[in-house]
Amino acid sequence: MRFLPSIVLALCAILFGRSTEAQTAIRAVYPIAGAQQVSVRTSIAIVYPRPIDKQALDVGSIVVRGAGGRVSAGSVRLSADAKTLIFTPAQPFHTNEHVTLAVGPLAYATSGHSDAYTTNFVTEEASAPTELNYTGDDPITQMAVRARAGGFRYDRSADLTPTPQGFPLLTVDNDDDPSDGKLYMANFKFVQTQGETYRMVLDKQGSILYAQTSDSHVILDFKPHSNGRYTYFDSPTSTFVVLDSNMNVTDTLRAANGYDMDGHDFRYNADGSYYVIALHYFKKDMRPVFPGADSNATVIDNVVQEFDKGNNLIWEWRGLDHYQLTDIENESLSGPIVDYCHMNAIEIDTDGNLLLSCRHMDEITKVNRQTGEIIWRWGGKHNEFTFRFDTTGFSHQHAIRYVPTGTYTLFDNGNYHQHGATFSRAVEYKLDQVNKVASQVWEFRHQPLTYGYAMGYVQRLPNGNTLIGWGACANVAVTEVGPFNRTVFEMSMDSGNYSYRAYKYPVGYLQSAVRKTADVSLSSTMQCYPNPVRESAEVRFSVAHTSPIDVTLFDLLGRPVASIAHENLSEGSYSATIDARHIPAGSYYLQLSSGGEMQYSSVMIVK
């Protein structure tokens, strides 16, 4: 009987999800324990440290209970790496339902069993906004709210055509030896009478190489990817459209768990998985939060979702599980729409964790990809960094991106700069993430000063130049800057036409990507352990027959970075080493050439 208290404590820990030594094996869970206002259409996922044995997966060991203790039926599956268990209910949960999931021990694929685990959360039905004429500070979210409310329609001015009709007037204002490559843009007008919008590919002088409209009337974020695909956001349907290298539609992607897709960012990972931002609308009495606020406001929360290459949701991060509505910096909490966060960019940092740009909080947040916990906050009310060599700071920013030289760029819209005139700029920082110091190392201010109140993008090019897309700016669309801030290219569009972002990639970028992702049957094989790589990794490969072999590490632009192996080998299995100590963090791929065959493997280097 003297052991009874410890048994009771252990049982309570299993039933109520309290921290115990046994619980530490669980890496993450979504929705997080105790989450509020979760979509009634949510799935539930638990992330384990090791792959679960698919053959031994016992559905009976998973119990989901709702109101009155009722058991919810549903299906269970594992992610592609078998580390994430996902329960999808057969029917949506009820509104304001207290849901509990209990999972018994599960067999690992190698040996041993996981620990039992219990989590709980409360649901709420998503509520569509009713503000048909909502006016926000960003065209993308404004269009999303109006479309969701059923009040934003578009007029068509031309039929589908592969040649430009009603095409925006593009004016090249400066052409002084820009870098080689192709420009990728998509125009739209932020007006009720939209007319045609186009996916555009231009040469380095701004001449049209390709222009194609589609069934959409608003095309956003058209860009190529290193896996040989294009994507763009189709605003009326709230989907990301995936195209092959010939511009043929191969997939349309939607947010999961009852949320709407947000068009601000789409990021592929090296293994074919991808991140998106989703929108969760729900009603809330804001008066307890802010005196005099709306008693029935529509709150917009941002949700980060990761899908595997089979389009299965494997990870989710909801803003209001970690932020407060009062974290807002310069926007109102008193109106009918409360867009407190306004997330507009996702970046994968060198350690595999995520950087999230939150415009209305004037903040970049770093999030632990495994646990979901916030690592640090840069900018805004909760800034943890000291700014050096920068008295301006950033305000209502877009497009946080890591540069392989070890710095970070962003587009500083400048809506609420603390000092000086209202203007936008491209800016670059060196971050000391240990001592929390952000040192400005470069910036570009257009002369005369120009202002893109919304949208915008900054991209460091392979030759060291920088491409700047000015977003919602009336007098300039794209600028390429060379050494000493010399403008080598600049282009404007006729009044009323904007491009959310502008990109530039080398000629042949897509063709190189198609070659390395070609689906061919090879008798040789290759793998890299561990992956991601920190200092070194072992490359294991087999040779089907005696032949010269070559194993080379390339960056995503197809440039050789390191020779891993180069010799004549007979049939058999071999290994070689990647020394990554002096290779910048980022995404790469290995190429194995053996007997006329090519084998490829994606590699992520982190620091």
Which residues sit opposite 40 in a β-bridge? none
CA distance 126 to 95: 9
User: In this predicted model, which residue has the larger pLDDT, 291 or 604?
Assistant: 291
Most confident of 109-113, 305-309, 591-595: 305-309
Q: What is the 3-state secondary structure (H, E, C) of 290-324?
A: CCCCCCCEEEEEEEEEEECCCCCEEEEEEHHHCCC
278, pLDDT greater than 50: yes
- Per 3-state DSSP, the chain is made up of helix, strand and coil in percentages (nearest 5) of 10, 45, 45
Q: What was the pLDDT predicted at 70?
A: 82
CA distance 57 to 433: 41
Whether the CB-CB separation of 591 and 599 falls below 8 Å is answered with: yes
Neighbour tally for 463: CB within 10 Å: 12
Q: Average pLDDT, stretch 34-60? A: 88
Q: Average pLDDT, stretch 284-289? A: 94
CA distance 64 to 48: 18
- Tokens 């029935």 appear where? 296
Q: CA torsion angle for 365, 369, 372, 378 (degrees, to 10)? A: -10
Q: What was the pLDDT predicted at 284?
A: 93
Q: Average pLDDT, stretch 223-249? A: 90
Assigned token pair, 561? 């970075």
| Exposure string over 232-267, b if 16+ CB within 10 A, otherwise e | bbbbeebbbbbbeeeeeeeeebebbbbbbbbbbbbb
pTM strictly above 0.75: yes
298 backbone dihedrals φ, ψ, rounded to 5°: -95, 115
106 burial level (CB within 10 Å; 0-12, 13-18, 19+) = buried
Whether the CB-CB separation of 196 and 155 falls below 8 Å is answered with: no
Q: What was the pLDDT predicted at 547?
A: 82
260 in helix, strand or coil? strand
Does a cis peptide bond (omega within 30 degrees of 0) precede residue 31? yes
Whether the CB-CB separation of 178 and 487 falls below 8 Å is answered with: no
pLDDT band at 2; cut points 50, 70, 90: very low
Assigned token pair, 304? 């980060």
Q: Average pLDDT, stretch 299-324? A: 94
